[in-house]
């Protein structure tokens, strides 16, 4: 009779492996062992979840992490697990990033609430340092950009002017960079003989006087070739 009552009050007796032919005390003992094993498994899972929780400042805040840790602790205790407040303090400190360990050596207070208050202060200080570093980085980047622009503006060379160049071989070398062959006055140039007459005369006189000192008359070879001796007729 008792075995039938227990069997009928089970939702899925076949799935749980309950044998209806066994005595009532045997069925009850098996059920207790089965559920005790399940409770132990759930407690172990909740304890593992609490101890493996980690705080990542890049994706969450300290308030959200505190809420997560409180929920894990509540779940563990509701399942019958045991976790003292002193143990909870150590678990919370261990969940912090490794870069924070030097700041958590002397945690103020003895309760988990005191630990979270201290962690909140550390978190706020970290955020202020990160914001200061970000602003300093922006200022340095702007200064570097301005310096680069200033340096670039001062080092830009003036565009080189294209000087004309004469390719006439008869043009004096000192005048090659003053004109083109089209405007050249020298023989073979595009403006041959177009120079000032006074300049040509001065140059010719200067050459004659420099070569002879002005003592003799300089005659051109052409004049000598066309010279004809004139003989006066005899009376």
* pLDDT, tens digit (0-9, with 9 covering 90-100), for 197-210: 654 444 444 444 44
Given its phi and psi angles, is residue 193 left (phi above 0), alpha (psi -120 to 50 degrees) or beta? left
What is the predicted pLDDT for the residue at 24? Answer: 75
* pLDDT, tens digit (0-9, with 9 covering 90-100), for 86-144: 889 889 989 999 888 888 877 766 788 888 888 888 888 888 888 888 889 888 888 88
Who's near 180: CB < 8 A, 6+ residues apart?
164, 165, 166, 190
Phi, psi torsion values for 24, nearest 5 degrees: -65, -45
d(CA 51, CA 194): 104
Whole-structure pTM value? 0.46
* pLDDT, tens digit (0-9, with 9 covering 90-100), for 61-92: 999 999 999 999 998 888 888 888 888 988 99
């Amino acid at each position: 009779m008792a075995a039938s009552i227990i069997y009928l009050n089970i939702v899925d007796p076949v799935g749980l492996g309950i044998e209806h032919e066994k005595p009532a005390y045997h069925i009850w003992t098996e059920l207790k062992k089965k559920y005790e094993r399940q409770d132990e498994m759930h407690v172990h899972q909740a304890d593992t979840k609490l101890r493996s929780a980690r705080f990542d400042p890049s994706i969450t805040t300290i308030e959200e992490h505190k809420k997560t840790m409180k929920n894990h602790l509540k779940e563990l205790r509701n399942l019958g697990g045991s976790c003292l407040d002193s143990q909870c303090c150590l678990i919370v400190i261990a969940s912090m990033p490794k870069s924070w360990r030097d700041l958590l050596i002397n945690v103020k207070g003895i309760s988990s609430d005191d630990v979270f208050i201290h962690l909140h202060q550390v978190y706020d200080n970290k955020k202020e340092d990160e914001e200061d570093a970000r602003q300093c980085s922006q200022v340095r980047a702007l200064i570097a950009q301005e310096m680069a622009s200033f340096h670039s503006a001062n080092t830009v060379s003036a565009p080189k002017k294209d000087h004309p160049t004469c390719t006439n071989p008869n043009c004096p070398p000192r005048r090659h960079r003053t004109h083109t062959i089209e405007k050249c006055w020298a023989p073979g140039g595009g403006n041959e003989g177009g120079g000032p007459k006074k300049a040509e005369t001065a140059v010719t006189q200067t050459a004659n006087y420099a070569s002879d000192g002005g003592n003799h008359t300089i005659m051109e070879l052409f004049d000598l070739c066309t010279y004809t001796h004139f003989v006066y007729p005899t009376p």
